[in-house]
Amino acid sequence: MQIINFREYSEPASSVLTIGNFDGVHLGHQALIRSVVEEARAHQARSALLTFNPHPQSVLRAHRVPILTNLTQRLRLFEQLGVDTVCMVPFTQELSQKSAEAFMEQYILGNFDLVRLIIGYDFAFGRNREGTARVLETFSHKHGFSFQVFPAVDLDGEVVSSSRLRKAIELGDFGLARRLLNRPYSVLGPVVKGPQQGRQLGFPTLNLVPEDPLPLTHGVYAARVVLGEETFDGVSNYGIKPTVGASVPTLETYLFEFDREIYGETIEVIPLQHLRDERKFDSLDALKSQIALDCEQAKIFLAGARG
């Protein structure tokens, strides 16, 4: 898969394109992207996806919103779905104020030999979201490409959406999250070196520091970790570690049978069961005792869990 920054991009080949954030890459996103890939093959064209980084809500809102999938994870999922080209557009306040027409001319018409444009049913762009499906249909007639609005995908009678997925994860309903994703919800990132407080307590952890907040409630989870081709059982804590303190929310995972240092390597943490909320303990000994109980509870759950 070709990954291109917008500033250096021009795609002379015929392209079938979709545009969006695709946070979560859930069932609805997957169906839309597969449609783009299939249409591109039918037209002997390239399948292309234009997306934004950082997530627009992280720029437009005063408080950073929980993000379901970071850029690395989204790109991995796009590639698995068969996308030929991903075009990355830096999202800024200035970009948010562009008119729909200016956005189309600068980012789409000036860079793609567009055969077909497919967007999600709820997609809009440009200043005040003025770039609606009706506006895009007008552009398609004017500039000679075909246009389609891809319908919503339902699960259990409700629309599959990023907001529905985010709510399921916040509530610890990882079964529903898995069904909305057709895969387990997970957090992907490089292992960073922390203050090693867990090691001092006898529970050395693998630490991820997400760039954006996660939709997880601050607390302790039974989890699995994928490292390359290997999978390990463990217990994860997401939060600010109120007993010892942390400057930013961190996802820490203690693996039951693991004694390697893997700083810088990428792992995938899969929370499977919420065990308890994060809380402050009166002493480190009390914290240590609780972690031991968390580990036992996690082992019992994971022994009977799948995925």
Positions marked active-site = 252
Other beta carbons less than 10 A from residue 157's beta carbon: 5
Amino acid at 212: D
Number of residues that this document lists for the chain: 307
Dihedral sign (CA 89, 92, 94, 97): positive
Question: Are 237 and 291 within 8 A, CB to CB?
Answer: no
- Could you give phi then psi for residue 46, rounded to 5 degrees? -90, 140
Kindly give, in sequence order, each residue whose CB lies less than 8 Å from that of residue 232, ignoring residues fewer than 6 positions away: 224, 225, 255, 256, 257, 258
* Secondary structure element (H or E) that encloses residue 250, with its range: strand 250-255
Report the distance separating Cα 274 and Cα 179, nearest Å. 18
Report how far apart, in Å, the C-alpha atoms of 286 and of each of 200, 201, 230, 235, 293 are. 14, 11, 33, 17, 11
* Secondary structure element (H or E) that encloses residue 58, with its range: helix 56-60
